[in-house]
A and B are shown apart, each in its own frame.
Chain A
């Protein structure tokens, strides 16, 4: 069974750094793209970026390029999303998502598997 289990809720102050995680199980971690989606309170879904664990090839939405860093640790089948200096506007629910494979290739164009979400609250 494919599972994406995310780290717990975080409460941080503006300017602090943060790294949240998404531990994958039930499939070959290095084969499938893993992405991150933001949902601000009461708002819609926003695609942030995606990484291919096999070679750490990473793509970012222009809206999030330079604002966050997506990485993986293949040794523990875990993807990470990190901020070096949080802002209040980073307060949101963050979901990790897994891509799919078709015809012998793997893509991150839609997402069947979602983590349970990590709530990040940034407040002074």
Chain B
């Protein structure tokens, strides 16, 4: 299966909102509501930020929200803060024996 498509970079100023897209196919994002988003700071393990499109694990600020339309999922970060600067990866369940596919990652810069 092919990786999901994310823009390589995104940016915004503190307090602004930024949206990162994640485009898959009808075999993954388009069929399953098992889209997740992970945040990775340099030198650290990834951290789950959203699961099942728009659900937040305990402790994740409600500034992080998600949505999906067709084959594209989106992560929106509202009220950008300096600590939001990180790499963000989407993933989707792709059926067929628990296959999971990741996006290529988006580097979010807080200007």
Whether B47 and A114, one on each chain, are in contact in the complex, defined by CB atoms closer than 8 angstroms, is yes
Whether B36 and A111, one on each chain, are in contact in the complex, defined by CB atoms closer than 8 angstroms, is yes
Q: Which residues of B contact A104 (CB under 8 A)?
A: none
A101-124 to B contact mask, C-beta < 8 Å, 1/0? 000000111111011110000000
Is B24's beta carbon under 8 Å from chain A?
no
Is A59's beta carbon under 8 Å from chain B?
yes
Is A41's beta carbon under 8 Å from chain B?
no
Q: How many residues of B contact A (CB 8 A)?
A: 25
Whether A44 and B57, one on each chain, are in contact in the complex, defined by CB atoms closer than 8 angstroms, is no
Of A9-17, A24-32, A45-53, A77-85, the one touching chain B: A45-53
Interface size class of chain A, counting residues whose CB lies under 8 Å from the partner chain:
20 to 34
Shortest distance between the CB of A73 and any CB in chain B (Å): 21
Q: How far is the CA of A108 from the CA of B105 in the complex (A)?
A: 20
Whether A114 and B101, one on each chain, are in contact in the complex, defined by CB atoms closer than 8 angstroms, is no
Q: How far is the CA of A100 from the CA of B36 in the complex (A)?
A: 13
Whether B51 and A115, one on each chain, are in contact in the complex, defined by CB atoms closer than 8 angstroms, is no
Q: Which residues of A contact B47 (CB under 8 A)?
A: 114
Known: A44-B3, A111-B36, A112-B48. 13 other contacts (CB 8 A): A35-B100, A44-B103, A45-B91, A45-B102, A47-B91, A50-B100, A61-B1, A108-B98, A109-B34, A109-B98, A110-B52, A111-B48, A114-B47
A-B residue pairs in contact (CB < 8 Å), sample of 10: A44-B103, A44-B105, A45-B46, A45-B91, A59-B97, A59-B98, A95-B46, A100-B51, A112-B51, A114-B47
User: What is the interface of chain B, defined by CB distance below 8 A to chain A?
Assistant: 1, 3, 32, 34, 36, 38, 45-48, 51-52, 57, 89, 91, 93, 97-105
